[in-house]
Amino acid sequence: MSKIPFGPTYDEMLHPNLIDPELRKKVQLAKHNELDELNLFNITWKNEKQEVNHIILPKEMTGVDANIIVLVGKYFPSGSHKVGPAYSTLIEGCVDHDIIPGKHTILGPSTGNFGIGVSYICNLMKLDSIVIMPDNMSKERYDRILKYGAKLDLTPGTESDVILTLERTYKLKENPNYRSLAQFELLPNYRFHRHVTGNSAIEVVKNIGNGRIACFASAPGSAGTLAAGDQIKHVFPEAKIVALEPYECSTLMNGGKGQHRIEGIGDKMCTLIHNVLNTDFISLIEDEDTVKGLKIIHDAPHILVEYGVDPHTAKQMVDMFGVSTICNIIGSIKMAKYLKLGPEDNIVTVATDGYDRYNSVIENLNHRVLETEDFVLRRWFKDIFLKADTEHIIDTRVSSEKERLYKQKEHDWLKFGYSKAYLDQMKSMDFWNHEYDKVNYYNEKIKELRGKNI
Ligand SMILES: Cc1ncc(COP(=O)(O)O)c(C=O)c1O
């Protein structure tokens, strides 16, 4: 007999105080044992005090007047917010009876963090899982996936070769006992981020600046996180949504060629779940800047202090960010300048994960650049953060740009069996709102069925 896993609704992930108080106490204790299945209820941006985990970046580091607020994802179980889409896709599959625990093996096509999330969730829910990912990602990613008990199925390449993982997943899916948590195409990823991340962002700015969001910037991998922008724009229609891409391999801006070092993003496709209607700008960030920027924050907080950053904040940030976070931070600084935002304006962005999976990336940087004395790091700090410029930003609000992005989506998805008619529906906000409204249905269904036999 199989059971539907016992886990939270979308509303409980957004507002953990909706969880029964007795259960909530146990859920807090579960944090001490990451493999306790009650940690499913710790899939939330909120801490014990019901505050969204975030940091307002010091202006001595950003060099701009606008408030740049980073939602901090490393406190999610498994160390990144990607566990949210993994759980949401799995639980929706279970309540729809498409995934039967005990019968089906779960596939997680990924470049790392989603795979870590899938292997972690499957461990808690006692499901077998296979993570399909490129063979050249950071070592720390593979270690975690194996630690959580998933099998690895590696395809050649790096972040920019993610298409090979999709092709491999499609092949594996021919086995009727396999079910894929297809983050690039399934809408629970959209629902999680629009509902949980979007509304958490809206909540976090309540007492900052003018209490609104002028800009949301995020570097898409699956583009799930960008869905938060749809909710932000729903509440603050003036908000600008910005997709950030690696300069060395931009797809949305330039059609996708090249290799890059920003793990988790820049996957050479316009993902199916990316609502390009709401993407107002695309901006490119140089990959080496993101790795160097991470090194400064992690290895040289004293340099930030020299530039006036409060020592406590510099220390707090040491382990808080990963490489893609630095991409998001640089992109936010660029947009603050481009949009000429002032001290009352808020830009929100996201730290998907923390430093724990990038030691090997920084070691590799140290080997490549040889000189990393303070005078070098000081120069990097100024050039990367304070002097971030407004180059390589395009405005995608015009219809010709939207058409170009739709064409990219068709190029990427018709070959996987999606019809032109389905893709055409995505050209209307009605499609996305209709998909978002299903959150209410799944809230009820999860509540009704969790822990029950199927
Ligand atoms: C480190 C990192 N940053 C950013 C992203 C992009 O997030 P999303 O897939 O929601 O676009 C990912 C996705 O896996 C990631 O692992």
Pocket probe mutation, ligand 1, options 187, 193, 352, 357, max atoms within 8 Å of Cβ: 352
Asked whether residue 29 is domain-assigned, the answer is: no
Rounded Cα–Cα distance for residues 208 and 71 (Å): 14
451 domain-assigned: no
At residue 415, the pLDDT reads 93
Dump pLDDT digits (tens) for 383-424.
999 999 999 999 999 999 999 999 999 999 999 999 999 999
How many angstroms separate the CA atoms of 43 and 55, rounded?
19
Q: What is the pLDDT of residue 2?
A: 83
- Take atom 1 of ligand 1 and give the residue whose Cα is closest: 264
Cα gap 271→269, rounded to integer Å = 6
Cβ(334)–Cβ(355) below 8 Å: no
**141 and 289 together in one domain:** no
Per the rule left: phi > 0, alpha: psi between -120 and 50, beta: everything else, 66 is beta
Q: 229 and 333, same structural domain? A: yes
Residue nearest to atom 7 of ligand 1 (CA): 221
Q: Quote the CA–CA distance of 119 and 131 in Å, as a whole number.
A: 7
Ligand 1 pocket, Cβ-based, cut-off 6 angstroms = 82, 112-114, 219-225, 263-265, 322, 324, 352-353
248-282 as b/e: b if 16+ CB within 10 A: bbbbbbeebeebbbbbbbbbbbbbbbbbbbbbbbb
Assessment of whether the complete model's pTM goes beyond 0.95:
yes
Q: Which atom of ligand 1 is nearest to the CA of 114?
A: 14
Q: Do both 260 and 161 map to the same domain?
A: no
**What CA–CA distance (Å, rounded) separates 310 from 121?**
38
What pLDDT was estimated at residue 163?
87
Q: How many residues in the chain? A: 454
Please list the alpha-helical segments (H only) found in 31-175.
59-62, 83-95, 113-124, 139-147, 162-172
Beta carbons within 8 Å of 304's beta carbon, 6+ residues apart:
58, 60, 61, 296, 297, 314, 317, 381
> What's the pLDDT at 444?
98
The predicted pLDDT at position 265 comes to 93
For a pocket test of ligand 1, which of 133, 262, 273, 324 has the largest count of ligand atoms closer than 8 A to its C-beta? Answer: 324
Show the low-confidence residues of the chain (pLDDT under 50). none
Q: How far apart are CA 110 and CA 331, in angstroms?
A: 24
Residue that terminates a domain, selected from 395, 421, 440 = 395
**How many domains would you assign to the chain?**
2
The helix-helix angle for 429-449 and 83-95 (nearest 10°) equals 70
Answer yes or no: do 299 and 375 share one domain: yes
Contacts for 165 with CB less than 8 Å, ≥ 6 apart: 109, 110, 111, 132, 133, 134, 155
- Asked if the structure places residue 361 within a domain, the reply is yes
**In this structure, is residue 429 part of a structural domain?**
no
Is 418 within a domain?
no
Atom of ligand 1 nearest to the CA of 325: 3
| 221, 356: one domain | yes
For ligand 1, what atom is nearest to the CA of residue 225? 10
Distance 227 CA to ligand 1 centre (A): 12
Structure tokens at 332: 């936010």
- Residues 6 or more apart whose Cβ sits within 8 Å of residue 286: 246, 247, 248
- Same domain, residue pair 115 and 232: no
Ligand 1, atom nearest to 218 Cα = 11
The residue contributing the CA closest to ligand 1 atom 12 is: 264
Which residue is closest in CA terms to ligand 1's atom 13? 264
**Are 227 and 337 in a shared domain?**
yes
User: According to the model, what pLDDT value does residue 160 have?
Assistant: 78
Residue nearest to atom 16 of ligand 1 (CA): 264
* Nearest protein CA to atom 14 of ligand 1, as residue: 264
Of the residues 133, 185, 225, which should be mutated to test ligand 1's pocket, given the most ligand atoms within 8 Å of the CB?
225
Assigned domain for 240 exists: yes
| Domain extent at residue 58 | 54-77+197-395
**Are 67 and 138 part of one and the same domain?**
no
